[in-house]
Amino acid sequence: MTGMTMSGRNAGAWLRIAFAMFAVGWGANQFSPMLIVYRHELQLTAGEVAGLFLVYALTLIPGLLVGGPASDRFGRRPVVWPFVALSPLATLLLVLGPRSLPLIAAGRALAGLCSGVVFGAATAWVQEVSPDDGLSARRSALALTAGFGLGPVVAAVLAQWVADPLVMPYLPHLVIGTAAAVALAGTPERTAGPRIQPRRAGRRWPPAAVRTSRFWLAVAPASPLVFGSVALAIVVLPEEVTSARTLSAGFAGLMTALSFAVGIAVQPFARRLPDMLAGVVTGLGCAAAGAAVGIAAVAAANRVLAGLAAVLLGLAYGLCLVSGLRQAEHMAGPDERGAVIACYYALAYVGFAVPYLAAGLGVLAGKSGAFVALTAIITVLALWTAGYAASLRRASRVPEGDAVVRWSDGNCDSVPR
């Protein structure tokens, strides 16, 4: 009976935390298709649109780098809950000032701060109430992906076919975000095993795992392709394959639905891979293939090819996210888990600069040329990661005395000869 009670508490805890991540992810990404609406309704310049997109990242990355370590020190719930509660307030600012650039920018800045604090700390929290690392990584990735995917799809549908396109798309998140804050209020800090007290003395920044060569050679190179892949699918391709007259929030929503749905579907497969780096290499391969299809899609302004590219880029997102989170969680000590995951997310969010990279490459080489260059860059990253993974496996099989070291699931284990 005690075991069943503990299992039930675990299930309830992780579901409430995951629901909070889902709600904040919804609030974070519901804005993506709305950029098209704002551009047309408010007659914004390209610089103003880019600024609205950028202000979110300017507060998100500091939120990640502060929220993760703070949750390691003060606990998950005291850090996560207030920012889950603030997330619907960020959306309320967008509702109250639908034609006010200062209010829209303030809402996006607050949304970025909430996302940064919640994503890193809540991912660590999910791990602490889950029975194993692989499952916790999939739970966190699923919650984020569902929120990132459904938020913009619902917003795009409401903006395209419902009256008052600057207000109605945000109303669902007001309800969902408030419900998530209420549900999270009584969630226990840790229910999966005895509580591990964090060390308060000798804390250094960046955390120990991030100071290792393994983090920078195996984890960091592919991290920007997590969100870089979906940025290509939901921001760059919709603009490149449609004209200014036919560009619609509905098509952007369709591209978002395709990429994130595939990203969710592939996550169970990513979790079952015995080697975490194999998941990263496979994800990078999908990203390179998606960018390659994007070359033809942009050259022909073909929406069908753009949809195929979105599927491949969604596969890249799901594989790289789950595999990268598994590596970050595995490398982190119990007293720095939030900080390490926050550093990983910060690198992943660098990928949202891909639209700016694509624009710069487009000026130099044309639209199709930009995708050629991106394909080459991603291919090099995939080959690098594959080579590094192979070198780790070779090194791990070198005999040591009476034992052989074996590479398995990202770990080096000694087994009898």
pLDDT computed for residue 46 by the predictor: 63
Tens-place pLDDT, residues 247-261: 566 787 788 888 988
pLDDT computed for residue 406 by the predictor: 37
348 and 412 within one domain: yes
Ramachandran class of 375: left when φ > 0, alpha when ψ lies in -120 to 50, beta otherwise: alpha
399 and 255 within one domain: yes
Q: What is the mean pLDDT of residues 360-387?
A: 91
Report the percentage of the chain scoring pLDDT > 90.
32
What is the token pair recorded at 260? 């994130």
137 and 273 within one domain: no
Residue 263 has pLDDT above 70, yes or no: yes
216 is a domain residue: yes
pLDDT computed for residue 7 by the predictor: 46
Residue 409 has pLDDT above 50, yes or no: no
196 is a domain residue: no
36 and 3 within one domain: yes
276 and 218 within one domain: yes
Out of 173, 188, 203, pick the residue that ends a domain. 188
177 and 290 within one domain: no
222 is a domain residue: yes
62 and 26 within one domain: yes
292 and 256 within one domain: yes
Torsion of CA 184, 16, 26, 89, to 10 degrees: -10
Out of 139, 154, 188, pick the residue that ends a domain. 188
Residue 320 has pLDDT above 80, yes or no: yes
What is the token pair recorded at 17? 């935390």
202 is a domain residue: no
* 185-194, 223-232, 274-283: least confident range: 185-194
What is the token pair recorded at 340? 């390490």
Q: Which of 139-143, 309-313, 363-367 has the highest mean pLDDT?
A: 309-313
Number of domains in the chain: 2
235 and 134 within one domain: no
82 is a domain residue: yes
- Sequence-separated (6 or more) residues with CB below 8 Å from residue 183: 16, 19, 20
pLDDT computed for residue 11 by the predictor: 60
pLDDT-derived band at 312 (thresholds 50, 70, 90) equals very high
Residue 191 has pLDDT above 80, yes or no: no
205 is a domain residue: no
How far is CA 2 from each of CA 6, 9, 11, 193, 259, rounded to the nearest angstrom? 6, 11, 14, 13, 42
Range of the domain at 233: 212-417
pLDDT computed for residue 416 by the predictor: 36
pLDDT, mean over the chain: 82
Q: How far apart are CA 236 and CA 53, in angstroms?
A: 13
222 and 89 within one domain: no
The DSSP-derived string for 346-370 is: HHHHGGGGHHHHHHHHHHHHHHHHH
* 172-186, 334-348, 355-369, 388-402: least confident range: 388-402
Say which CATH number the domain at 354 has: 1.20.1250.20
179 and 103 within one domain: yes
pLDDT-derived band at 399 (thresholds 50, 70, 90) equals low
Q: What is the mean pLDDT of residues 169-198?
A: 78
Q: What is the mean pLDDT of residues 124-152?
A: 79
217 and 100 within one domain: no
207 is a domain residue: no
pTM recorded for the entire structure? 0.77
